[in-house]
Amino acid sequence: MIVLHSPAKLNLFLAITGRREDGFHNLVSVATPVEFGDTLTVEPREAGFSLACDEPTLEIDETNLVLRAARAFAEATGWTGGAHFSLEKRIPMGAGLGGGSSNATTALVALNRLAGGRLGAEAMAQVAANLGSDCALFLQGGPVIMRGRGEVVHALPEHAASRLRGRRVLIFKPAVSVNTAWAYRQMMKTVPSPYLPSFKAEERLAGWIGRSVAPAEELLFNNMEASAFAKYIALPTALGCLREEFGLAPRMSGSGSACFAFVSDATPVAAVAARIHDLWGHEAFVIETRLM
């Protein structure tokens, strides 16, 4: 039996640069896993794959990314073994935190162990990328730069990654979720275009990486915020309050609706969490964690 942590992720820098001919969008992003996440337990079976989850609203049929990852692994390797997956779900769904993608990649890692390491790093990355745009980033275990539709992943240079690792962060999400496909459609319809040309995104990212003293807060950017904020006014309202009242620099992660803010020893975290619940109700999700 294998028990693995399946982390959530944050997009600290997310520039959607335009729509591709295949219908996907190109992006430049700095993303990082965090210490908070789900737990995936994998028990070997002679054949076949099955999934159980403690979150009753999660679909556990063949459309689930964990089972899709298992089938993809079997097809890529010819492995004839099987496994039962038990998922302890903590990452909120529809949040932009990459929970499903993380679960899928974690399943690939577990199966590769069970199968004796049939896939090398490059082959694992390819299988993960074919499953979804966010999947391959979880193989790195730390901050990465993502390009293409998210499948082209490189580790962030160490001198820049060291400015991110271990930073305390508060992640919070209202009860409402933002549909990713809807968010991209809104970007396509918005005039003037919210896309950031790729050369500008690369210049902005290179500028932050090159300034050795630039703090993580100066990296933060997300041009998907405008689409979500126009419909879900509770998002910009809350972020504005946290800026005004606590001096934080909160942003949205991915297509939302989860948001985050760096905190320090001087931040009254309990008061910030209480304010978020005041604004979004008791059902709002709030967790403090650290960047990996």
Name the residues annotated as catalytic: 9, 134
Residues comprising the chain, all counted: 292
In one-letter notation, the amino acid at residue 138 is F
For 200, the token pair is 């500008």
Contact indicator for 249, 217 with CB cutoff of 8 Å: yes
Q: Residue 137 gets which letter from DSSP?
A: G
Q: How far is CA 268 from the centre of its chain?
A: 26
How many Cβ atoms are within 10 Å of 121's Cβ, its own excluded? Answer: 9
Classify residue 5 by burial, with Cβ atoms within 10 Å: 0-12, 13-18, 19+: middle
Strand 221-222 relative to strand 2-19: parallel, antiparallel, unpaired?
parallel
CB crowding 258-287: b at 16 or more within 10 Å, else e? bbbbbbeeebebeebbebbeebbeeebbeb
d(CA 254, CA 242): 19
For 33, the token pair is 């896993």
Strand partners of residue 82:
45
